[in-house]
Amino acid sequence: MVIIQLNDRQMKIIEIVKEHEPITSEQIASMLNVTRATLRPDLAILTMTGILDARPKVGYFYAGIDENNIISKKLKSKKVSEIMSIPVLLTEETTVYNAIVTMFLEDVGSIYITNNGYLSGVVSRKDLLKSTIGGIDINKIPVGMIMTRMPNIVLANPNDSISEAVKKIIDHEVDSIPVVEIELKNEKEYYKVIGRISKTNIARLFVELCGE
Amino acid sequence: MVIIQLNDRQMKIIEIVKEHEPITSEQIASMLNVTRATLRPDLAILTMTGILDARPKVGYFYAGIDENNIISKKLKSKKVSEIMSIPVLLTEETTVYNAIVTMFLEDVGSIYITNNGYLSGVVSRKDLLKSTIGGIDINKIPVGMIMTRMPNIVLANPNDSISEAVKKIIDHEVDSIPVVEIELKNEKEYYKVIGRISKTNIARLFVELCGE
């Protein structure tokens, strides 16, 4: 794939086709006061890019592709499973103190909490900080008491596009979201945590796309 | 700008030019067993995109642009000043407790600390969390005692490209970096904080580029 910058005449052609579709190359040429031969490479590029659609004996149509959905296409094609990290998991019984220690040792911004192997909650740096100044005994209180509990957790699927996951992170103002696989038991859904997608993953992808 | 998918013949032309540059369109045509007229739109696209360079009476050269630096160009063209947020500032004398309260009220991941109006340190959620479990009296200890102090702080310039700033965030494993303007006084540099660039800004830019 390559990016090209359209020239002024090509931009004008797009405007003309948008307004007068279907329109023949002769009609476009006469509106621009140029010959059909002059227009040929412009029309070739505009149809190759998918901006214009050409139908034999009818003319050119505007296909609805514009500048704004270029980068978008590339970014939307990547999947959560391609960039997710390994999740850090603890059980509900872990003390708040040990959760804090784990957070420092693993250097993550959030820890996912499980019950019987399935996701039951999420605890963030913010949750832990709040609990340390709240006057509770962090050596006794289990993390299960201060975590955000299911179903109030935003989840990602490994096959989601990265753009969907990032949108969830932004909209719900969280640092990361657990990537889960759903298991069905007795008609109830359980979530197995298989990954973690964070703002750091996004920033890394950004650096990668910049080719650095 | 538009993205186009090159066809097989265009890819072959690139390979031929890479290997035999400078090469004329006649030579390319004969190697591909096609007429020069057939090649004309292909060569037009390849030179328009900047992949090939054409010099009159010499021939075609490979200009060194390939698929990998397409998105990169767009991302590198954005500047820090275009997406930075308002910084949250406190002075060194503020207590750790008040810094924590500010962090929650402003909902930021790091606070920049100033002395006489200039940047002297940075305090992150991690720093604050560490201090709350460290057995110090957070109501008495000033934030200046626990912050990361200049010159051990990574800085961004408003005119830096976003890709440079993101690279710093990743390489130094921080959540945000202060955007500063340098002031010179008695031959010493002082930094005025004018913005904040965080992983959240990057994630937001990502969503915006995805057009959502």
Domain count, chain B: 2
Which residues in chain A come in under a pLDDT of 70?
Answer: 1-5, 64-75, 211-212
pLDDT, tens digit (0-9, with 9 covering 90-100), for B111-169: 999 999 999 999 999 999 999 988 889 999 999 999 999 999 999 999 999 989 999 99
pLDDT (0 to 100) of residue B5: 65
> Quick count: other Cβ atoms within 10 Å of Cβ A84?
22
**CATH number assigned to the domain comprising residue A123:** 3.10.580.10
Do A49 and A6 form a contact (C-beta atoms < 8 A)? no
Range of the domain at A97: 75-209
**pLDDT tens profile B38-79:** 888 888 878 877 778 888 888 998 876 554 455 566 667 789
A85 and A44, same domain (yes or no): no
Element (H, E) at B73: helix B70-76
Rounded Cα–Cα distance for residues A54 and A152 (Å): 50
Checking B10-15 for CB contacts under 8 A at 24+ apart, the result is B10/B42, B10/B45, B10/B46, B13/B39, B13/B42, B13/B43, B13/B46, B13/B52, B14/B46, B14/B51, B14/B52, B14/B62
**A198 and A131 in one domain?**
yes
Q: Are residues B101 and B59 in the same domain?
A: no
**Does any CB of chain B come closer than 8 Å to the CB of residue A184?**
no
pLDDT of residue A181: 97
> Considering CB atoms only, which of A68, A125, A166 is closest to B206?
A166
C-alpha atoms less than 13 angstroms from C-alpha of A146 in its C-beta half-sphere: 27
The answer to whether the CB of B43 falls within 8 A of the CB of B60 is yes
Cβ distance A206 to B4 less than 8 Å, yes or no, reads no
Whether residue B23 is found in the same domain as residue B53: yes
H or E stretch covering A9: helix A8-20
User: Does the CA dihedral B161-B178-A101-A146 come out positive or negative?
Assistant: negative
Residues of B in contact with A96 (CB under 8 A): none
Q: Which of the listed residues B46, B67, B88 is the one where a domain comes to its end?
A: B67
A44 touches chain B (CB under 8 A): yes
